[in-house]
Structure 1
Amino acid sequence: MSSEQTTLIPPLRGDGHGKYRILLLGNSGSGKTTLGKELALILGLPFVSMDTLAWLPGWRMSSSEELRTKLIAIMTDAKDGWVIDGSYQSKIGTLVQDQSTDIIWLDPPLALYFPRICYRTLLRLLRLAPPCSPGCDEDYREVFFSRDSILWWSLSRHWLVRKKESAMLKEDGIHVGGKRRRIGGWGSELEAWKRSVREMVRIGTAD
């Protein structure tokens, strides 16, 4: 696909009838939740954080059946579309991916988002920022002395996520007529894409 053809691709594909079911993917700390809330506001759609849905108080994980039941109910109720961040594919398979009209892979440099997740984790440790899910407060021992640390998880999975999503992009990317889009770089690419989404909504509203 030529660069000229690429510029003609809308920022969101949708279902062809003005409805958008958007799944945001990326490593921990890559900005999924922040973008998800912003997109939901722009599009007037409900936002669903998979972390909040999956984790129960005391860091108890919902079972696969519980998580699937919650998600199906939410997606069925949100008839005009939704924005969901996170995969949890080991728990729910491709349930959300199959239902989505657009899959956005956030792939910023590790040097950009790792300091950001460190800062967020510090705020959560100090109880200055809300936990990822109610009743799931961060613990110093878990953060600094455990293999389950969110910081270790983010570091260790950066290249694994990039390898997996790169392969999926080749098969189902917008450049081959699919629904996956990669947004990388240090921020300018993401800002440009969000502007194009706002413009798409503005033109659609005007029409």
Structure 2
Amino acid sequence: MSTTTTSVSSTPGSTPPLFGDGHGKYRILLLGNSGKRSTTGRELAAILGVPSIGARAGRAPSPEELKAKVGATLGEAGGSWVADGDYRTKLGNFVLDKTTDVVWLDPPLALYFPRILLRTILRLLRIEAPCSPGCPERFSEVLFSKDSILWWCLTHHRSNRERNQERMAEIGIGCGTRRRMRRLGGWGEERRVWLESVKELAKGE
């Protein structure tokens, strides 16, 4: 599969930065193999004044319990939320079908991996807080476990891009029938411009 993907930017007269449901509600799913995803989720939630739901909120022993937990978390958000993470492996389209907007963060591996590496080292040295409260990371987990975020980013970068390219073909703005998914690629400028557009959108509401 080709790795060429068209980015969709928000310029005056084109598509809005977010669609929403037409009644002031935004249910946004952030996708991507990027360490910038959780940061973007928090920034976006703060701009819109909606709850931010991290990927780690979607963990449970079984698919049934996971579905119930995620469903309850989304329901408690009051109709608007920013969800960070890909729940499709265990839940299929359960979260995706509830969205008004899907945003794929797709920066180059060379941009985001060094940042993830630095933050991981800072957490190991207890300079930064752990990803999950009360669950500090250990060197053995980070360096030798296949569940390590470093290992995951390196081994899933390509497959993650291919999976999201397929989603773009289905629901991407300008190319799908249920068009609500956009890609933000490049080295950061496209993401910055898009967030500024969201700020302007929020001011007008």
Pair in the same fold by TM > 0.5:
yes
Deviation at 1:16, TM superposition (A): 1.4
- CA–CA distance in structure 2, aligned partners of residues 18 and 51 of structure 1: 27
Deviation at 1:136, TM superposition (A): 2.5
- CA–CA distance in structure 2, aligned partners of residues 103 and 132 of structure 1: 24
Q: Secondary structure at the residue paired with 2:89? A: helix
- Is the 1:52–1:132 contact (alpha carbons within 8 Å) kept by the matching residues of 2? no
Count residues with an aligned counterpart. 195
- CA–CA distance in structure 1, aligned partners of residues 11 and 83 of structure 2: 28
* Alignment match of 1:18 (pick from 7, 13, 24): 24
In structure 2, the CA distance between the partners of 1:23 and 1:4, relative to structure 1 (3 Å rule), is closer
Query: Superposition pairs for residues 145-156 of structure 1, below 5 Å?
Result: 145-156=144-155
Q: Hey, what does 1:8 align to over in structure 2? A: 14
Q: Higher helix proportion, which one?
A: 1
- CA–CA distance in structure 2, aligned partners of residues 128 and 4 of structure 1: 37
- CA–CA distance in structure 2, aligned partners of residues 135 and 92 of structure 1: 27
**Equivalent position amino acid for 1:185 in 2:** G
Range 4-13 or range 88-97, more displaced = 4-13
The TM-score with structure 1 as length reference comes to 0.87
In structure 2, the CA distance between the partners of 1:131 and 1:65, relative to structure 1 (3 Å rule), is farther
In structure 2, the CA distance between the partners of 1:62 and 1:130, relative to structure 1 (3 Å rule), is farther
Range 65-74 or range 38-47, more displaced = 65-74
- Is the 2:106–2:161 contact (alpha carbons within 8 Å) kept by the matching residues of 1? yes
Q: Hey, what does 1:57 align to over in structure 2? A: none
- CA–CA distance in structure 2, aligned partners of residues 9 and 170 of structure 1: 17
Q: Secondary structure at the residue paired with 2:17? A: coil
| Structure 2 gap segments, 5+ residues each | 1-8
Q: Hey, what does 1:43 align to over in structure 2? A: 48
Deviation at 1:73, TM superposition (A): 1.3
Provide, for residues 140-173 of structure 1, a one-character-per-residue CA deviation record: whole Å limited to 9, x for no partner: 1121123222211100100111111011102210
Q: Secondary structure at the residue paired with 1:103? A: strand
Deviation at 1:116, TM superposition (A): 0.5
Aligned-residue Cα RMSD (Å) equals 2.0
**Equivalent position amino acid for 1:41 in 2:** A
Identity of aligned residues (%): 52
Q: Higher strand proportion, which one?
A: 1
- Is the 1:28–1:153 contact (alpha carbons within 8 Å) kept by the matching residues of 2? no
Deviation at 1:62, TM superposition (A): 3.5
